[in-house]
Structure formats: C-alpha cells, structure tokens
Amino acid sequence: MMFFRPKSFKSFQRLLGQHKVLISDEDRLTYSYDTTAQRVVPDLVVMAESTADVQATVNFAMDEGYVITPRGAGTGMSGGSVPLKRGIVLCTERMDSIHKLDVQGKTMHVGPGITTARVQEEAARHGLFYPPDPSSHKVSTIGGNIAENAGGLRCVKYGTTKHYVLGLEFITAHGEICRTGRLDSKSLPYDITPLLVGSEGTLGIITAALLRLVDAPAGRGTMRILFPSLEQAAKAASDIMAAGVVPAVSELMDKAVLDAVTAYVGTHLPAGTQALLLIEVDGTAEEVQAGISRVEKICIGRGALQFRATQDPEIAERLWRLRRSVSPSLARLAPGKLNEDVSVPRSKLPDLIEAAQRISKRYGLTIPCFGHAGDGNMHINVMFDPSDTLQAKRAHQAVEEIFKETVALGGTLSGEHGIGSVKREYMRLQMSNAEIETLRMIKESFDPDGIFNPGKIIPD
C-alpha cells in the first residue's frame, strides 16, 4: 500500500467521514476487480455519497498526486473500473437518489449510483419506459451505463444509453462542477454530453444525469423460432428488418450456446436445431399482432423448424428462460472465458459467425456465439483453461483473429462493453494513428495531468 501524507489524509478523512474512506485490506481487495480476470488492489477506496464528496476526493488526489479510477457496481466487462495504476477507487454506488421525476416532461434526474432496474421500475409506475436494458440491469448503475454507453436487448429498436441522456453533471480534473445539456442553466453553445457518454471515466466523474423517458408500449409479443442452420436464422433476422418490422428485441444463439444452455436448464429442442431466434415486438395490440404475423411468415419462408409466439407475460418469461440462462451455462464449459462484444453490419452476421467457427476449429477451442442480431452486436465467447499456459495463449490469439475478421467486415471492436484495458491495445486494428492521436488530445484537454482512469481506451 502506498502512503498518503498523514496530516493531509487525516484532514481528508475528517472532511468526508471515516465511514466513506476505506483502507482495510479486505475493503481494498473488494474494489480491485470487475468481471474480467484483471485484479489490481487500490491504495484507497472512497464511497462518495454526494457531489461534494466527489469534488473533495478529486481535490485531494490532485494535491497528493494520486490517480482516480471511477467505479459504479463493478459489472463491467472490459476492465474499465480496475485501478491499473492503483491510487484511489472512487465509488458512486451510494449516490442513488432520484432527484426529480417529471412525468409530463418525461425525464428523470438521478444520481449515478441508482441501478438501471430501479430507473425502469420507477418509470413504469407512471406509465413511462426507460429502454436501455443491459443484462446486469438489476445491479449495474446508471453512472456505469453512461460511462460505457451500455446497450442491452432492446437497442435494435430503442438505441443505447446515449440516446437517453439529456444532460450531465460531472467533476472535472480541476475539481470543478460542470453541467452539460439540459442541466446546463447557462445554455452554452457546445453540448459535450455525447462526448462524455462512453468516455469510460477518462474525462470526468459523473455525479448526476438527466434521463429521457418514453411512453411505455401497450403490449408485447414474444416469439421463439428454431432453425436448422445458423445461416438461415441470421438471414431471417436480416429479412425481418428489411421488411420494415423493427423488433424491440432480436436475439440469436448458435448451436454451441444451445447445447450448453439446454443441458443447464434441462430442456430439449427438436432434432436438427442449429440456431434460435428470440424476437419481441411491442406497441398497440394491432401492431403486436401484425408484427407476429409478419415475423412468422418470414421465418417459415426461411425454413424455420418451429415457431412459438405469445402475448402472455408468464408464457413469454418461459420462452426467455433459455436466453437468461446463457451466461451461467457457458461458465460450465470451461473455467476461463474471453467474452468479446464485437459488432458488424447485420448483413455480415453470417460471415462473422462462420469466421468464429473457423477460428474455433483452427485453435481447438469452443467458441459459442450469441447476441443482438437486430443491430449486429454479437457476443463471441472464447472458452479456455487459464491454468493451461498454451491454451490461454491460443485463446488470446483467437480473440485477435476475431477482431481482425470483425474490422475486415466493416465492424467495430465493441458494441456495448467498452474498450477499457482489455481491448485497448487492439484499437490500432480499427483506428488510424491520426484518429488515436485525436483521442489523446481530447483526453489531455479534459485531464492534462492524467489522473482519471489511466491505462484505459487509448493505446500506448
């Protein structure tokens, strides 16, 4: 553990209160990791409860020469909240207030520590809807969602987090409070809200957000469709969008995922099933019924083995069971997993999955694929044994090949998990030196001393 100057540290503790400043080995270990395999123990953990706490922490870090790693609930998948340079982990999960809910204006002003699920539940109580829906919505925080521009199942129709952030309050690297968008009372000519969304805590520390809500859909129709080949399923997903049907959800699972998940939940699918589509449409009763009919016609035309549809929420939940069980089922295949969330144009989905299967055979590793077929965002999971040095090396080589294939298909390295530290060194596959230098200049203009989340996004 690094040592702070005793007098300064004691003053900082008194200012915040000792219950907000965690220094025990156990506490620091608890905030040393996210869902990746990376683990770095910070020197200090601050549990901020207000904007003033965040501001005081930034000022303390500046005075003492320490770096800060912002953190929400730690559910990220790219190493974004891992304190690579140690220093201070600044956690905002206690800043979970709803400051104001404007039902008529369809906005919610919240603290960064509020969970996505709570925002959704509070909006639903007033007939409103907050669409971003990452799989970790029950525990992930809005601050983390904004930092990573989280997506989720509904992004094909409703978009990602960036489409629902109307304004932000954040603390700058100079310890100043700054407000953007509709939280900016001065109405400055430049709205830097879009620049901060997805910046992964490298430009400022979010202390409040104004979220946009929409009217809740009147009804939903859920469909589970089984196919004899992955290519047929992927083409059906593309055909559905081309036909003018914009599903709220369009999820695709390949054979490796289906084998794992059916064994996990103890269910069986018809012989010959190689892929599954889970489609959801929403809107008025008439719109839902029309959507179900059009999707059925398209999928049958693409050779679907089985088509099941329902507008009953309880039956729909049973249809969703396979999708919700994917992550725990894959965990049984191997002790290690590299979960990459690459994204390609919808028309290139079959090519991407074919490439993943080819790479799987070349390296002798299981590589299950599933994800959001509607917007081309696929989760490609390379399964391996971390204790086997050679196998771990092959797994990382396989990931690099998948990234290269993704870029060649006109895609991007991340659809919703962010770059963080895990994908940082692969950024040169996607961006030119000039583009990376532009990112570096933006970072330096916001954070000239490099105290916010060092070691993330921008490659050395």
- Asked if residue 443 is part of any domain, the answer here is no
Compute the distance between CA of residue 459 and CA of residue 437 in angstroms, rounded to an integer.
Answer: 10
Whether 418 is in a domain gets the answer yes
| First CA to last CA distance, the chain | 26
Instruction: Kindly report the CATH number assigned to the domain that includes residue 229.
Output: 3.30.70.3450
In a domain, 435, yes or no: no
Same domain, residue pair 237 and 293: yes
Contact assessment for residue 138 and residue 115, using Cβ atoms and an 8 Å cutoff: yes
Beta strands in 284-325 (DSSP E): 306-310
Rounded to whole angstroms, the maximal C-alpha distance in the chain is 74
What is the average pLDDT across 133-151?
94
Task: Judge whether 459 lies within some domain.
Answer: no
What is the Rg, in whole angstroms, of the alpha carbon atoms belonging to the chain? 23
Distance CA 446, CA 442 (A): 6
Mean local confidence (pLDDT), 242-262: 94
Asked whether the whole model's pTM tops 0.85, one would answer: yes
186 has a pLDDT exceeding 80: no
Listed in sequence order, the DSSP H helices in 128-254 are 142-148, 155-158, 193-196, 230-242
Structural domain including 141 reads 9-216
pLDDT in tens, 4-46: 788 899 999 999 999 999 999 999 999 999 999 899 999 999 9
Q: Is the pLDDT of residue 353 over 80?
A: yes
Last residue of a domain, one of 299, 328, 357: 328
Helices (H), 102-197: 116-124, 142-148, 155-158, 193-196
Angstrom distance (rounded) from CA 241 to CA 381 = 26
Q: Is residue 3 part of a domain?
A: no
Same domain? For 191 and 300 the reply is: no
Backbone angles phi, psi at 139, to 5 degrees: -125, -25
pLDDT tens, 60-83? Answer: 999 999 999 999 999 999 999 999
Helix axes 285-301, 230-242, angle to 10 degrees: 140
pLDDT band per the 50, 70, 90 thresholds, residue 3: low
Query: Is residue 315 located within the same domain as residue 358?
Result: no
Local confidence band at 2 (pLDDT 50, 70, 90 cut-offs): low
Which pLDDT score, from 0 to 100, does residue 327 have? 85
Q: Hey, which bits of 121-254 come out as E strands?
A: 128-129, 165-171, 177-179, 205-212, 214-215, 219-227, 249-254
- Assess whether 191 and 299 both reside in one domain: no
Range with the lowest mean pLDDT among 107-111, 147-151, 197-201, 374-378?
A: 374-378
Measured N-to-C along each axis, helices 313-324 and 255-265 cross at an angle, to the nearest 10 degrees, of 110
Statement: residue 254 has pLDDT above 70: yes
Q: 344 is written with which tokens?
A: 């390609």
Per-residue pLDDT tens digits for 144-161: 999 999 988 899 999 999
> What are the backbone dihedrals phi and psi of residue 315, each rounded to the nearest 5 degrees, phi first?
-70, -40
**What's the pLDDT at 350?**
85
Is 441 contained in some domain? no
* Core vs surface per residue 441-455: b (16+ CB within 10 A) or e: eebeebbeeebbbbb
**Based on the domain organization, do 268 and 414 belong to the same domain?**
no
Kindly report, residue by residue over 279-303, the tens digit of the pLDDT: 999 999 999 999 999 999 999 999 9
Please check whether residues 164 and 201 belong to one and the same domain.
yes
- The pLDDT, as a whole number, for residue 324 is 85
User: Domain end: 216, 247, 276, which one?
Assistant: 216
State the DSSP code for 273. -
Mean confidence (pLDDT) of the chain:
95
User: CA-CA distance, 370 to 341, in Å (whole number)?
Assistant: 10
How many domains, the chain? 3
| Chain mean position to CA 407 | 20
